[in-house]
Structure 1
Amino acid sequence: MNNLAQKPDDAEFQIIKDLSLLELPEYIDKPEYVRRKSAGYGLMAIGWVLWMWLFLPVLTLLFWWFEGTVVYTQVVEQTQPMTSISVLKLMVCIGIFISALFIWASYNWVRFHGEDRRQSPENIDDEGLARSFNIQPHEIVQMRQSKNITLHYSEKGQLEDYQINA
C-alpha cells in the first residue's frame, strides 16, 4: 500500500502541471456527486420567502407613502404633481431602512455576543487516524514526518495509496 519514492535530500519539489497526473477523484469536478443539494436549495428558497414575507410589505408601504402624495394631488386635487422628489421623504425612507438594519444587527449582537456554538473536533491518536484512513499506524508516523506526500483516492473518496516524496 505504500509506494515510497525516495529522492536525495537536496532535490527540489516538483510542481505537477499536467492535471491528468494528479488523479483527482470525479466527485471533486462533478457537482452531481454532492449529496443533499435539494436540502440546500430548499433552505435557500425558504430564506427568500421569509425575506419577501418580512420586508416586501414594509417596502410596499414606504413606496405607497412616498408616492401617495403624487396620486392624491393628481386624482383628488387635480393639479400637476411636483416635479422634484421631496428630500425630506427620501431621508425618512433611508432612515427607516438604516434603523431596520441597525435593530436587526443589534438584536443579533445581543443574542449571540460571546457565544461560540462551533466546537473543535476531539483530539485523535495515531491509531484512530490510521483506522479512519484504513492504513497502519506506523504509516501515519511516516506521513507526519515527511515534507511532501502524494495521496491517491478512489472514486468514492477513500484513500487507496500514497507516495512519500523526499
Structure 2
Amino acid sequence: MKGRPSIQAPEGADPVVIIDRPELQARWRRTVYSAMTLVAWAAWMYLWLPAITLVAWFLGYRRFVGEIVAPEGGIILRATLVYLLIIGAMGLILILWSRYNVFRFRGKTRRGAGEPVSDREMMDRLEISPEHLSALRGSKSAFIRYGEDGAVLHVGE
C-alpha cells in the first residue's frame, strides 16, 4: 500500500493485540473499563443461568431447581409451556398474515408520489400571501399559528 506508513509491532509483541501496555491508560479509565467488563460478565452469566440450572437438574442437582426456579417447579413449567404456546401462535399468525398480504398485493404497486400542488392551491388552502409562501419555502423550520376556525393567524420562523 503506497502512501500509507507501515505500522510495525514492537519486537516480541503480538501484532494482533492493540493495547500492549494498559498501564499507560489513566487509572480512572481502567477502573471504568473493568467495572463495565464485570457488569457485562455478570449479565452474561445471568442469561446462562436457566441453561446451567437445566443441566444441573438433569444431572440430579435438584437443589438448584428449589433455589432458583421455585419450590413448586411444576407451576412454572406449566406457565412456561403456556407462554411458549402463545408465542408460537402469535408467530404463526404473523407469518400467515404476511403470506396473505404477499399473495394479495403481488404485482400491485400502490405506492407513489402524490399529485403536485401548485403555489396558488397552497396559498388558497392555507390562506397565506405569496410572501408568506416564499418565506416558508426558504426557511429551515416554520411556525404557523391557526385560529379556532382553522384559519392561519400567523406565519413565522
TM-score with structure 2 length normalisation? 0.36
TM-score by length of 1: 0.34
Structure that is richer in strand per residue? 1
